[in-house]
Amino acid sequence: KQEVTQIPAALSVPEGENLVLNCSFTDSAIYNLQWFRQDPGKGLTSLLLIQSSQREQTSGRLNASLDKSSGRSTLYIAASQPGDSATYLCAVRLTDSWGKLQFGAGTQVVVTP
Amino acid sequence: NAGVTQTPKFQVLKTGQSMTLQCAQDMNHEYMSWYRQDPGMGLRLIHYSVGAGITDQGEVPNGYNVSRSTTEDFPLRLLSAAPSQTSVYFCASSPMQFYGYTFGSGTRLTVV
């Protein structure tokens, strides 16, 4: 069974520092990996989608890397801002015929001014 | 283009009552799913569908029913609400397996 782990569970950094969030998965048979952001009491906002054949994906200050063979993805957020404070979730899309998502538990990020 | 729309946003039920959580998408997506999110448990899959008339159970299906008569709608039914079903429920949709999922804004359900 696919297991998705996110470490650390919580992270606090001063404004301006770069954020590094980790996601690991046990089975490399995935279609893609998706990073989401969730603000308190809100829904999930998709940040980046990285296909299994890709090594990285970028959007503005965000960069996600994927190493499928080692079962790891990293989300980098450059020059963090207080508005980046949120919970970040990663999810892998399974290669079964149903295309289900398996989520990690998330990393709660606080960026202090 | 409204994306994924969930109604209601908040609901309080008494134990034993039934209700339907609505989910609709206007993107012609084939894949749709229901998740519940609980503190310390993360997001868990309840039911999912790969097209009209095709559904299956996820990780925590007990106490919930689904049906998919159209591509657009995927309602989740609670047959007899229990306090253990107090949670935040999210609906999500995706066009095909190589694409990402889009999530609704959620329904916060409290069963007393």
Question: Which residue in the set A31, A43, A46 is minimally distant from B98, CB to CB?
Answer: A31
In DSSP terms, which residues pair with B25 in a beta bridge? B4
- Give the distance, in angstroms, between the CA of residue B35 and the centroid of all CA atoms in the same chain: 6
Q: Among A1, A44, A51, A93, which would you mutate to test the B interface (most chain B Cβ atoms within 10 Å of its Cβ)?
A: A44
Q: What is the pLDDT of residues A39-52, one digit of tens each?
A: 998 999 999 999 99
User: Do A13 and A80 contact (CB within 8 A), yes or no?
Assistant: yes
C-alpha dihedral over A93, A44, A83, B11, to 10 degrees? -160
Taking the C-alpha atoms of residue A22 and residue A106, their distance in angstroms, rounded to an integer, is 10
Q: Tell me how close the Cα of A30 comes to any Cα of chain B, in angstroms.
A: 10
Q: Amino acid letter at B89?
A: Y
Q: What is the pLDDT of residues B3-58, one digit of tens each?
A: 999 999 999 999 999 999 999 999 999 999 999 999 888 899 999 999 999 999 99
Q: What are the chain B neighbours of A106 within 8 Å (beta carbons)? A: 42
The candidate with the shortest Cα–Cα distance to A37, out of A14, A59, A13, is: A59
Pairing relation of β-strands A107-112 and A10-14? parallel
Interchain CB distance below 8 Å, B103 and A44: yes
Q: What is the pLDDT of residues B94-105, one digit of tens each?
A: 998 788 999 999
Q: What is the pLDDT of residues B44-91, one digit of tens each?
A: 999 999 999 999 999 999 999 999 999 999 999 999 999 999 999 999
Q: Tell me how close the Cα of B97 comes to any Cα of chain A, in angstroms.
A: 6
**Cβ partners under 8 Å of residue A1, min gap 6:** none
Q: What are the chain A neighbours of B100 within 8 Å (beta carbons)? A: 32, 34, 46, 49
Chain A residues bordering chain B (beta-carbon distance below 8 Å): 31-32, 34, 36, 42-46, 49, 51, 89, 91, 93, 95, 97-101, 103-106
